Amino acid sequence: MSYELDPLPYDYDALEPHIDEQILTWHHDTHHQGYVNGWNSAEEELAENRENGDFSSSGGAIRNVTHNSSGHILHDLFWQNMSPEGGDEPSGDLAERIEEDFGSYEAWKGEFEAAAKNASGWALLVYDSFSNQLRNVVVDKHDQGAIWGGHPILALDVWEHSYYYQFGPDRGGFIDAFFEVVDWNEPSERYAQAVEAFE
């Protein structure tokens, strides 16, 4: 099986002025494409090793699958979590669950922003199927700090390539900009799917 990079679900300049066209172009076409290429390459290496019966490089290839597949999946989620019509707050079942699990939307947002400011990779809102609750998670790189049974609902990429060209070292400014384009329709659907599958 070969993985491909889907086009953005909106034009490269669609999120301006909050996130500019150049950032999205580099981030999607170069960085995200790199994870897709890395995943495909690692899968090919594993397949060749199985065929040849030589597993001397398989440990590293397995790690590359984990790293690159996580990078591809999280970036795909990140693009879908935003839209030109974003900037609202969640509603319906997800809003109620955020209030139940965090006390209020403001409390959730404050904690999520703290996760984003401390991550060396990603801040995620996940549905934790083991504990049956929503959690904010700090994930370094793409796969360090993830929770087993945690199903991502909302993803914010805070690698420097996602914001430095436009915001410089002002990561907080980028986090604020993200909330101007978050479209809660997609996370709400993802939450509903997770709850249906595990509750």
pLDDT digits (tens, 9 = 90+) for 48-102: 999 999 999 999 999 999 999 999 999 999 999 999 999 999 999 999 999 999 9
Nearest by Cα to 138 from 121, 151, 154, 152: 121
User: Is 75 labelled as part of a ligand binding site?
Assistant: yes
pTM score, two decimals? 0.93
Distance of CA 136 to the CA centre of its chain: 12
Residues 6 or more apart whose Cβ sits within 8 Å of residue 113: 123, 172, 175
pLDDT in tens, 7-38: 999 999 999 999 999 999 999 999 999 999 99
User: Is 157 labelled as part of a ligand binding site?
Assistant: yes
Q: Are 90 and 98 in contact (CB under 8 A)?
A: yes
Cα–Cα distance for residue pair 85/145, rounded to 1 Å: 31
Class of residue 76 by CB neighbours under 10 A (exposed 0-12, middle 13-18, buried 19+): middle
pLDDT in tens, 124-173: 999 999 999 999 999 998 888 788 889 999 999 999 999 999 999 999 99
Domains delineated in the chain: 21-80 (1.10.287.990), 92-198 (3.55.40.20)
